[in-house]
Amino acid sequence: MNQQVVVIGLGRFGSSVAKALYNLGHEVLAIDKNEDRVQSMMGQVSFPVTGDASNEAVLRELGVDKYDAAIVAVGTDIVASVLSTVVLKNMDVPYVVARAEDDLHGNTLERIGADKVVHAESEMGVRLAHNMFNPNVQEYLELAPEYGLSRIRAPQSFDGKTLRDLGFSNPRDKYGLAAMALLHGREVTLNPDIDESIKAGDVLILAGKDELLDKLPS
């Protein structure tokens, strides 16, 4: 399901995650104080806006209190990062992800209520966009434009079923994804057989088109 996401800070990481989320079909409001950065995002996000995201009145005027999630991508300006995170939590935005510059910054963000803290740059922005709304996706790696590799934790709906049952046996089946590996506890099976049984909590490494990876059940 498509979500409304606000991205605050349009440096390398922020612009990367904003564009990736927009390309995945989400509605993205992108905010930065720097007019040039905002202009560079025209046509690449839903709503590029110049403004001070540490000001609650500005965010409320933009309707951010109605958004599903927020990403505070401000890195070097730690005060602005902390203030923006506090404002978003006070506005009851359901899910706030914040980028940390270092461990101290990260610990501060966690203490003030950030739901997730990342230490990242541009490539991590793409990964975050792909796993942000599916708690079972533990990791995403871009292999080529529009193709990737996802590490997912098998949800309860997979329990007791085989790869064949789940539609991972060939590209024409349900998900159109290839199962590259299966991790059950400490046991690792590469190129698992299509009749291999899956248990809830197992880890699958899947490869395929991004649009198919993003349709995996959460």
Each residue's pLDDT tens digit, 9-66: 998 888 888 988 888 788 999 999 999 999 999 999 999 999 999 999 999 999 999 9
Residue 47 near residue 28 (C-beta atoms within 8 A): yes
pLDDT of residue 59: 96
Q: Which domains are assigned to the chain? A: 4-131 (3.40.50.720), 137-213 (3.30.70.1450)
69-72/4-8 β-pairing: parallel
Residue 44 near residue 24 (C-beta atoms within 8 A): no
CA–CA distance, 199 with 166 (Å, rounded to integer): 12
Q: pLDDT tens, 77-88?
A: 888 999 999 999
Read off the pLDDT of each residue in 79-98 and give the average, rounded to a whole number: 93
Helix axes 78-90, 103-111, angle to 10 degrees: 20
- The edge-to-edge listing of strands for the beta sheet with 27-32 is 47-50, 27-32, 4-8, 69-72, 95-99, 116-118
Please state whether 113 falls in left (phi above 0), alpha (psi between -120 and 50) or beta: left
Residue 35 near residue 101 (C-beta atoms within 8 A): no
Read off the pLDDT of each residue in 124-148 and give the average, rounded to a whole number: 61
Q: Report residue 123's pLDDT band, with 50, 70 and 90 as the boundaries.
A: very low
* Percentage, residues of the chain above pLDDT 90: 36
